[in-house]
Amino acid sequence: MKLTEIQDLIKFVSRSGVTEVEIEQNNFKITIKSDPFKKRGSKGQRLSHR
């Protein structure tokens, strides 16, 4: 997954109100989580990858 795709996912989570997105492709897995109690568009995201 390219860096720009990861950045787009973070923006999506931030703007949409979704609290978690997890994607797995081949040997790459990424989970983007957002605090469900934060306002949309705030910077409460955590990024982890394996």
Query: Across residues 30-35, what is the average pLDDT?
Result: 86
Q: Cα dihedral sign for 10, 14, 15, 18? A: positive
The Cα diameter of the chain in Å comes to: 33
End-to-end CA separation in angstroms for the chain: 12
Query: Across residues 22-46, what is the average pLDDT?
Result: 75
Query: Across residues 16-28, what is the average pLDDT?
Result: 87
Whole-structure pTM value? 0.58
In the chain, count H helices and then E strands: 1, 3
> Is the predicted pLDDT of residue 4 greater than 90, yes or no?
yes
Can you read off the two tokens belonging to residue 34?
């957002």
Q: Supply the pLDDT for residue 45.
A: 54
Q: Supply the pLDDT for residue 14.
A: 83
Q: Give the H or E element holding residue 23.
A: strand 20-25
